[in-house]
Amino acid sequence: MKYTSPANVTDDDLALLTDLYELTMLQAYWREGMHERGVFSLYFRKLPGQRNFMLACGQQYVAELVTQLHFSPSSLQRLADVGMFDDRFLAWLEGFRFTGDIWALPEGTPVFPNEPLMEVEAPIAEAQLLESLVLNQVQLETVLASKAVRLVMMAKGRPIIDFGMRRMHGMDAAIRGVRAYRTAGLAGTSNVLGGLIHDLPLRGTMAHSYVLAHDNEQEAFREFARQFPGTTLLVDTHDTVAGVRKVIDLMAEEAGLKVGAVRLDSGDLGALARDSRRLLDDAGHQEVKIVASSGLDEYSIAELVDTGAPIDAFGVGTALGVSQDAPVIDLSYKLVEYAGKPRVKHSPGKINLPGRKQIYRRLDSQGYYCGDLISLRDETVNEGESLLTLLVKQGQIDEAALAEADRARERVQHTLTRLPPPLCRLESTEPSYSVELSEGLKRLQRETQ
Amino acid sequence: MKYTSPANVTDDDLALLTDLYELTMLQAYWREGMHERGVFSLYFRKLPGQRNFMLACGQQYVAELVTQLHFSPSSLQRLADVGMFDDRFLAWLEGFRFTGDIWALPEGTPVFPNEPLMEVEAPIAEAQLLESLVLNQVQLETVLASKAVRLVMMAKGRPIIDFGMRRMHGMDAAIRGVRAYRTAGLAGTSNVLGGLIHDLPLRGTMAHSYVLAHDNEQEAFREFARQFPGTTLLVDTHDTVAGVRKVIDLMAEEAGLKVGAVRLDSGDLGALARDSRRLLDDAGHQEVKIVASSGLDEYSIAELVDTGAPIDAFGVGTALGVSQDAPVIDLSYKLVEYAGKPRVKHSPGKINLPGRKQIYRRLDSQGYYCGDLISLRDETVNEGESLLTLLVKQGQIDEAALAEADRARERVQHTLTRLPPPLCRLESTEPSYSVELSEGLKRLQRETQ
């Protein structure tokens, strides 16, 4: 079998990137004449791992996909070949466009259990079809941004660089991860295409293979630094301290050769950073920075920062690339209203909130977030700031909301100053944050049971 | 920012899906005139989580990508805009094609720590460039296939259906996951595009939203079963046992209405399956099958199977989609030879094997695999079966190897009968399996230290 496009998904195929049951349900709705508006709510029930909040991310991206969603002639032919679908239904799909509304949290907003990240309102078939795609896309960025922001918090201003492309799950994750990392506040990425598409500075050093391919480490350093003035040299191929000495000798030997940093990639990073800093400083090279990598995560970065290791930047791969400790969240996309009537699944021990909703976030007197209220969308609430905004209106992306969404990175930076300190810890704090239901929502919940 | 292609990666962009340091090293090799052949070995050091083996997967797929790899005019322009690269180097990249050889394990082969999944031999720049892409692509399928095969082993012949698209990390993972699942032996997938591209049967039921959108559960069942004879009805929206009764009533009421199965998606699946089976059997519906889903993984499936729960098929999403307990392996792509000389990084406490290698797998008298020997490629070994085959020769995919690789699914089924029973357990068995080094390899290792 030959693969013509590496990622296997083009605009023409996108509508088929869905679960089969979405399409069978669509045919059923269509044949039963069920075209009334449905409202679906996207939320999760439980924070994964040690998370105290998630950063909602990917809503704008998926909303743009949704507004382009259509069934191309080739995708309709593929569906016809499946042999399960009515020709008239397929003809109806040919005219399919999303004409509904999408309310969403601005990207980069901290979000807690049971709070909607998005609410989609449209003729039920249109809203139903989005389920699998919205879940796949919003989960990806939300999981990765929520991991990345923990690294950013622990680094206390030191840059974090994404080195994770090789560990991520495929091409789309590698590219879209950079988008999530940018929102979360990473300083750069090694991923060329991801960085170029999503506007995060490209960073790179050298691999051990480059040093090993030379008969002599110092020669490798010399050649590389000549070609890339200000570059970072990887010093641990044979022995880290000896490697740093070679960099110093090289700078002494060849005046004008500019080395930006040395990179430590194995061993006791704190001790090696101290030794390296001392050697560099003693040689008068205060300007040469130290970059560390090698199995780092938010815990090891916190320890290095807290113990004063003289590390100027951290490169993180494995732990970040798949959000290793919490690679998944239990996002649900549930019908909460149809034909004007609230709907809710009966789930013992679980909370399912009917109807169209809004979230209000309150600040305490010191300017910290102190709790959320989930209300009905059109209920009057006199406290806090409303969070869900109208991102797609009658099938059209709201241009003002789009411009606003581009400020997601700035939003996260601002948000981090307002998060109550317990939520910024690496361990989960239970209960992490107060999320209450409004009187109107509680009443509707009782009436719908 | 608008996204023109949902997956963001086209053939034209593929060469840029790499880490920046690959390209800076390429320029360095080019400028230094380092065009001798390098050999890179792809392997991992440690089994993740509770794995006793990994199923090597994705090598054929990435080899096909590699043979198509080139720098398009648009990608060269993008690199020029980065401002780090020499114009003459970019002109050289324009003629870049992979002209080397790739040795690889056939897909679906069990693989153990320190064994090469692939060895790439080419002028060093060509082999170097592949690093990030090969790691990203082979890890994805290997991680997912290795998780999926655990489900298959525990289900003891009962079909496992992939319901995980919504939990996977983006589009490429969702599509490629189906390829890995097919190799591992899954019976079907809910993922339409993935199933169509990678030839795994499409399976689907209905969502709770479909039932909730109807005022009456039985009406929802009737409409759906009329449209899709033999379909699976989701019976737990309100109360599972009551749901099964409604299905039975419906079949009594409407002769000729065919229901293929009921799906249980919450609660105590074992108990509910027994109750449902009894109700169905008592009503004479032995032909209606029971499908279970809801947070299943290999442990819960093993328990359900071992306790005799009358479940005919399992749908698995979250645990499978990201290989939740072990989403990543520490795959390395290391230079092991350059210009005919073995190379190896000095890593205290870690094994790095120099030179071109081969793996021999031995069978015991009962037909079980009883241990591997890693040797030098051209060393004479008189025991076991050699595993690495030449997949790409001088830049061309070997058509015979390609046809062979299509038999990966059958290979896995055969392999499972030969794996020693301790390796088929869900808990890791230490040492899981004997992997020895040949005398020739040990000698080269000593000489290269």
Q: Cβ of A210 and B140 within 8 Å?
A: no
pLDDT one-digit tens code per residue, A89-105: 999 999 999 999 999 99
| Residue where the block lists tokens 């089994």 | B47
> Nearest chain A Cα to B237, which residue?
A345
Q: Percent of chain B, pLDDT > 70?
A: 98
Go through A166-194 and write b for each residue having 16 or more CB atoms within 10 A of its CB, e for each that does not: bbbbbbbbbbbbbbbbbbbbbbbbbbbbb
What's the average model confidence in pLDDT over A245-268? 96
> What one-letter code names the amino acid at B407?
R
Q: What is the DSSP string of B14-58?
A: GGGSSBHHHHHHHHHHHHHT--SEEEEEEE-SS--TT-S-EEE-S
pTM more than 0.95: yes
Contacts of A6 in chain B (CB under 8 A): 9-11, 14, 17, 65, 68
Amino acid at residue number B243: G
* Partner residue facing B176 (CB), from A23, A65, A170: A170
For residue B102, list its beta bridge partners.
Answer: B120, B392
**pLDDT of amino acid B1:** 37
Residue numbers in B near A344 (CB within 8 A): 212
With bands split at pLDDT 50, 70 and 90, how would you rate the model's confidence at A348? Answer: confident
Alpha-carbon gap: B367 to the closest alpha carbon of chain A (Å): 32
State both tokens at A29. 């709705």
| Most A-contacting residue of B136, B147, B449 (CB-CB within 10 A), to test interface | B136
For residue A143, list chain B residues with Cβ-Cβ distance below 8 A. Answer: 169
Question: Which residues are bridge partners to A167 per DSSP?
Answer: none
**Residues B179, B57, B46, CA angle at the centre, nearest 5°?**
135
Q: How far is B280 from chain A (nearest CA, A)?
A: 23
- Kindly report the average pLDDT of chain A as a whole number: 94
Query: B272 pLDDT exceeds 60?
Result: yes
**pLDDT computed for residue B218 by the predictor:** 95
CATH code that applies to domain B146-321: 3.20.20.70
| Average pLDDT of the residues in B346-365 | 91
Residue in B9, B206, B212 closest to A343 by CB: B212
Please report residues of A whose CB lies closer than 8 A to that of B147.
Answer: none
pLDDT at residue number B8: 57
CB atoms within 10 A of CB B302: 18
CATH number of B14-142+328-356+387-448: 3.20.140.10
> How many CB contacts within 8 angstroms connect chain A with chain B?
338
Interface test with A, best of B19, B67, B236, B335 (most A CBs within 10 A): B19
- Chain A residue closest in CA terms to B407: A1
How far away is chain A from the Cα of B207, in angstroms, using its nearest Cα? 7
Residue B75: which pLDDT band, with cuts at 50, 70 and 90? very high
Q: How far is B257 from chain A (nearest CA, A)?
A: 16
Per-residue tokens: B76 = 């060269």
Ranges of H-type helices in B256-396 = 269-282, 298-306, 318-321
Chain B residues whose beta carbon lies within 8 Å of the beta carbon of residue A203: 20
Identify which of A24, A267, A324 has the shortest CB distance to residue B328: A324
| Cβ <8 Å between A139 and B24 | no
Among partner residues B174, B190, B213, which is closest to A124 by beta-carbon distance?
Answer: B213
**Which helix (DSSP H) or strand (DSSP E) does residue A275 occupy?**
helix A269-282
B227·A28 Cβ contact <8 A: yes
Query: Are A335 and B208 inside 8 Å of each other by CB?
Result: yes
**Lookup: tokens for A4:** 């013509």
Q: What percent of chain B has pLDDT over 90?
A: 91
**Cross-chain CB nearest to A223 (options B13, B32, B345):** B32
Query: Could you tell me where in chain A the CATH 3.20.20.70 domains are found?
Result: 146-321
Chain A residues closer than 8 Å to B346 by CB:
237-239
Order of strands, edge to edge, in the sheet holding A101-104?
A341-342, A332-338, A37-43, A118-123, A101-104, A389-393, A396-397
Looking up tokens 């797998």 gives: B361
Q: How many CA atoms lie within 13 A of A126 on its CB side?
A: 25
Of the candidates B16, B238, B343, the beta carbon closest to that of A346 is on B238
Assess contact for B328 and A167: CB atoms under 8 A.
Answer: yes
* Cross-chain residue pair B136–A17, CB shorter than 8 Å: no
Average the pLDDT over each of A50-59, B278-287, B289-298, B421-430 and give the range with the smallest value. Answer: B421-430
Query: What would the pLDDT profile of B223-265 be if each residue is shown by its tens digit?
Result: 999 999 999 999 999 999 999 999 999 999 998 999 999 999 9
Q: By CA distance, what is A196's nearest residue in B?
A: B78
Q: Span B192-212, mean pLDDT?
A: 94
CATH class (in words) of the domain with range A14-143+326-448: alpha beta
Cα(B321)–Cα(B429) distance, integer angstroms = 25
Within 8 A by CB and 6+ apart from A73, the residues are none
Mean pLDDT of B412-422: 94
Q: Give the integer Cα–Cα distance in Å for B414 and B244.
A: 38
Residue to substitute from A32, A137, A169, A322, interface B, most B β-carbons within 10 A: A169
Task: Report in angstroms the alpha-carbon separations of B357 from A274, B115, B122, B401, B437.
Answer: 39, 9, 15, 18, 10
Residue B3 or residue A169, greater confidence: A169
The partner residue sitting opposite A318, judged by closest CB among B13, B17, B328, is B328
Question: A213 and B343 in contact by Cβ < 8 A?
Answer: yes
Instruction: Identify all chain A residues contacting B207, using CB atoms and an 8 Å cutoff.
Output: 21-22, 25, 128, 131
> Which DSSP category does A441 fall into?
H
Q: What residues of B are in contact with residue A65 (Cβ under 8 Å)?
A: 3, 6
Residue of A42, A60, A209 to mutate, interface with B, max B Cβ within 10 Å: A209
Measured between CA atoms, the residue of chain A closest to residue B337 is A213
Q: How far apart are CA A313 and CA A299, in angstroms?
A: 15
Residue in A60, A90, A131, A212 to test binding to B, most B beta-carbons within 10 Å: A212
Question: Would the pLDDT of A5 be above 60?
Answer: no
Chain A residues with CB under 8 Å of B347 CB are 266
Please state, in angstroms and rounded to a whole number, the distance separating the CA atoms of residues B18 and B33: 22
pLDDT, position A8: 57
Query: Across the beta sheet with A231-234, what order do the strands follow?
Result: A188-189, A160-162, A313-316, A289-292, A259-264, A231-234
How far is the alpha carbon of B223 from chain A, nearest alpha carbon, in Å? 7
Give the Cα separation of A439 and A213 in Å (integer): 69
List of residues 6+ apart from B77 with CB closer than 8 A: none
How close B382 gets to chain A, by Cα (Å)? 33
Mean pLDDT of chain B: 94
User: Where along chain B do the CATH 3.20.140.10 domains lie?
Assistant: 14-142+328-356+387-448
Nearest residue of A to residue B346, measured between CA atoms: A238
Nearest CA in chain B to A86: B227
pLDDT for B347: 78
Q: What CA–CA distance (Å, rounded) separates A410 from A418? A: 13
Chain B residue numbers with beta carbons less than 8 Å from the beta carbon of A70 are none
Residue of chain B whose Cα is closest to the Cα of A15? B193
Contact (CB<8Å) B21/A347: no
Q: Do B169 and A165 touch (CB under 8 A)?
A: no
Rounded Cα–Cα distance for residues A45 and A41 (Å): 12
Nearest Cα residue in chain B from A402: B1
Q: Write the pLDDT tens digit of every residue in B113-141.
A: 999 999 999 999 999 999 999 999 999 99
What are the pLDDT digits (tens) for A302-316?
Answer: 999 999 999 999 999
pLDDT band of residue B346 (cuts 50, 70, 90) is: confident
Q: Which of B10, B132, B196 comes nearest A5 by C-beta?
A: B10
> Residue B165: its chain A contacts at CB < 8 A?
17-19, 132, 136
Complex confidence, ipTM: 0.96
